[in-house]
């Protein structure tokens, strides 16, 4: 089971980026996102709205005390992966993480503003998806895609109100 922890959210500035982190978490097989930083009701509502419309069991929580979450997660035997462009490159680490993740819960941390040094120290893995700037959204997507070896894209979620019938051209949705 994978939980994503989004830390350092800033109201306004990060609003769409954090929402996209939540959507990626749900679409790519994480079970839950915990939002930290500024409390932003709109994001919680928007992610819960997507679950209601599009299905699945994805959970959304808010918790200001992200250091406590990380420490408790480790105390309970989970492993902590911090996505950072300064870390070790993903292809060198994903095998170990996948092996650890077989019988342990995994907490994936995605930062926004400057991440405290303690997060680097507490994390079992500091992992970069290429050591060059891009986006926490893409880092999270690639991490989950590699972790689940692509299976999450084809997995069926518990049905919501709408689903898509894939088309070569155009759009087709079915409402239940």
**Interface residue list for its own copies (CB under 8 A):** 13, 16-17, 20, 23-24, 26-28, 50, 54-56, 84-91, 117, 120-121, 123, 126, 128-135, 137-138, 140-142, 145, 150, 152-154, 157, 163-164, 166-173
Nearest to 105 by CA among 147, 163, 168: 147
Token pair listed for 168: 């070569």
Which DSSP letter does residue 151 get?
A: G
- Shortest Cβ distance from residue 123 to its own copies (Å)? 8
CB atoms within 10 A of CB 143: 26
Going by C-beta distance under 8 Å and a sequence separation of 6 or more, which residues neighbour residue 65? 36
For its own copies, which is the closer residue by CB, 63 or 110?
110
For its own copies, which is the closer residue by CB, 103 or 175?
175
Whether residue 74 contacts residue 104, with contact meaning beta carbons closer than 8 Å, is answered with no
- Shortest Cβ distance from residue 174 to its own copies (Å)? 11
- Shortest Cβ distance from residue 2 to its own copies (Å)? 15
Whether residue 87 contacts residue 125, with contact meaning beta carbons closer than 8 Å, is answered with yes
Angle at 161 between CA 159 and CA 162, to 5 degrees: 90
For its own copies, which is the closer residue by CB, 63 or 92?
92
- Shortest Cβ distance from residue 109 to its own copies (Å)? 14
For its own copies, which is the closer residue by CB, 103 or 158?
158
- Shortest Cβ distance from residue 39 to its own copies (Å)? 20
For its own copies, which is the closer residue by CB, 23 or 109?
23
Ranges of H-type helices in 1-155? 15-27, 41-54, 66-75, 90-101, 117-122, 136-147
């Amino acid at each position: 089971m994978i939980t994503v922890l989004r830390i350092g959210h800033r109201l306004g500035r990060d609003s769409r980026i954090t929402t996209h982190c939540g959507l990626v978490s749900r679409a790519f097989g994480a079970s839950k996102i915990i939002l930290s930083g500024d409390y932003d009701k709109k994001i919680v509502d928007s992610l819960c709205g997507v679950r209601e419309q599009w299905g699945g069991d994805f959970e959304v929580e808010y918790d200001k005390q992200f250091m406590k979450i990380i420490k408790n997660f480790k105390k309970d035997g989970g492993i902590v992966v911090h996505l950072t462009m300064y870390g070790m490159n993903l292809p060198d680490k994903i095998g170990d993480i996948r092996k650890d993740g077989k019988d342990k819960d995994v907490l994936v941390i995605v930062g926004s503003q400057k991440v405290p040094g303690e997060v680097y120290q507490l994390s079992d893995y500091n992992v970069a998806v290429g050591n060059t700037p891009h986006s926490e959204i893409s880092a999270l997507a690639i991490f989950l895609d590699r972790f689940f070896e692509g299976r999450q894209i084809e997995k069926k979620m518990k049905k919501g109100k709408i689903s898509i019938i894939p088309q070569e051209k155009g759009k087709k949705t079915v409402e239940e």
